[in-house]
Amino acid sequence: MSRLDHRLEPDSEVRRFEVINGAMGRRRWSADERAQILEESLAPGAVVSAVARRHGLTPQQLFTWRREARKRAEAETLSFVPVVVAPEPADAKGPKPPRSKRRAPRRRTAAIELEAAGVTVRICDGASAATIAAVVGALKGAS
């Protein structure tokens, strides 16, 4: 008897009989189907496990899709912007007078200037890496 040739006993009762045709394996979802399911799961008040059940997914699989989508979105927002190096303005008064032995307090100039959504942030030279990281983190959190 082959694997597919199963016979039922004459007096046995069959409650459910299921025939599966085609190749078994992972179901492939198109990008449009995934996007529709993700959008449905991100709607206000949506329950992820209910959305997953409705589409024949496990909640873990849908959470994985959501995490991957979030990572892709974050990667797309992180990009380089053009840098403009502006020359120092020339003094209109002519040559500078000779320096005295005592050092005058050094005037700090902006070493990094960020413009985002109409706001300009200037980070002076000599700023610590922690300060710069905190400023960039605050800008990312605000957008």
If you average pLDDT over residues 93-108, what whole number do you get?
64
What mean pLDDT comes out for the span 24-31? Answer: 76
Per-residue pLDDT band at 89 (split at 50, 70, 90): low
Element (H, E) at 124: strand 119-124
pLDDT of 27 higher than 60: yes
pLDDT at residue 22, as a whole number: 57
Q: What percent of the chain has pLDDT over 90?
A: 23
* Tokens describing residue 54: 């409705």
First-to-final CA distance of the chain: 67
Distance CA 24, CA 50 (A): 25
Contacts of 135 (CB under 8 A, 6+ apart): 114, 121, 123
- The predicted pLDDT at position 36 comes to 93
Q: Residue 134 — very low, low, confident or very high, per pLDDT cuts 50/70/90?
A: confident
At 53-87, the pLDDT tens digits run: 999 888 999 999 999 998 888 877 666 666 677 77
Q: Closest Cα partner for 68 from 35, 33, 27, 28?
A: 35
